[in-house]
Amino acid sequence: MPGFGTALVTGASSGIGAATARLLAAGGTHVLLHGRDRERLDALAAETGGTTLPADLADPEQRSRLAERLAAEELDLLVHNAGLGWAGPLPELPAERLTRLTAVNLTAPLELTRALLPTMLARGRGRIVFVTSIAGRTGVAGEAVYAATKAGLDAFAESLRFELHGTGIGVGVVVPGVVRTEFFTRRGKPYTRSTPRPVSAGRVANAVVRAAEKPGDYYVPRWLRVPVALRGVVPGAYRALATRFGAES
């Protein structure tokens, strides 16, 4: 696996982000490790030789300071992985949690990309990879706001592809389904369904690296393309099936 020089991975203190950082470092990439858990970041930095960048992306001031710190960095790869979840009926979603979800999942990637893109454009090369979610492409009952933030991230990534065509900067998107991480514990509702089976964070990390090497859309697992295609071709049938069998996680 070829190295990417320098890469920023957001949400690197656990799960997909940590697995991605390890994989990139194994290929010779110097990884800038963003996260909120300083202790975990320090341990990962000791393991990978990376540089820690602790910050809470829900805090506008911390987002701004992180963007300023990175603006002049010659990044070869930017991985937008940090994300929050919440599950339950929409009226029960606390206002503060809604604000955090939107800030971390959508506002932060938009702001960081805007801040870091000029240096990539000046160099004429770079890769940006977004870790979205199948929830953003099919909708999920009980996770309306989470799904909306991921759908917004999808639209941003696709629009950026058009905008950056011919500049030497590629945009990749990784669309995971259920992943075996702490995400479900942190969202306040464990994953209890027998299907689909959760995949490992390492499997998603491999897709992130592939998306950086060859920009495009990568579903993990690949069969998730099927419900997305069904929704696009026969939305009525898709919605009937989803309502009957429960489009929730």
Q: How confident is the model at residue 179 (pLDDT cuts 50, 70, 90)?
A: confident
Q: Mean pLDDT, to the nearest integer, of 85-94?
A: 94
Q: Phi first, then psi: what are they for 232, rounded to 5°?
A: -75, -35
**Catalytic choice (146, 218, 219, 238):** 146
Q: Report the distance separating Cα 24 and Cα 3, nearest Å.
A: 7
**37-61 tens-digit pLDDT:** 999 999 999 999 999 999 999 999 9
Q: Are the C-beta atoms of 119 and 75 separated by less than 8 Å?
A: yes
Q: Which stretch of DSSP H or E encloses residue 153?
A: helix 144-164
Q: What is the residue-averaged pLDDT of the chain?
A: 91
Q: How confident is the model at residue 242 (pLDDT cuts 50, 70, 90)?
A: low
Domain 6-245, CATH = 3.40.50.720
**21-40 tens-digit pLDDT:** 999 999 999 999 999 999 99
Q: Report the distance separating Cα 78 and Cα 76, nearest Å.
A: 7
Q: In what order do the strands lie in the sheet with 51-54?
A: 51-54, 30-35, 6-9, 77-80, 126-131, 169-176, 217-220
Residue 191 is among the residues annotated as catalytic for this protein: no
Residue extents of the structural domains in the chain: 6-245
Q: Are the C-beta atoms of 11 and 17 separated by less than 8 Å?
A: yes
**183-241 tens-digit pLDDT:** 766 766 766 666 678 889 999 999 999 999 999 999 998 888 887 877 778 777 667 65
**69-89 tens-digit pLDDT:** 998 889 999 999 999 999 999
Taking the C-alpha atoms of 138, 142, 144 and 149 in order, what is their torsion angle to the nearest 10 degrees? Answer: -80
Query: Is the predicted pLDDT of residue 249 greater than 70, yes or no?
Result: no
Query: Is the predicted pLDDT of residue 244 greater than 50, yes or no?
Result: no
- Percent above pLDDT 70 for the chain: 90
The whole-number pLDDT of residue 192 equals: 63
pTM comes to: 0.91
Q: Report the distance separating Cα 165 and Cα 62, nearest Å.
A: 31
Q: How confident is the model at residue 140 (pLDDT cuts 50, 70, 90)?
A: confident
Q: Mean pLDDT, to the nearest integer, of 117-127?
A: 96
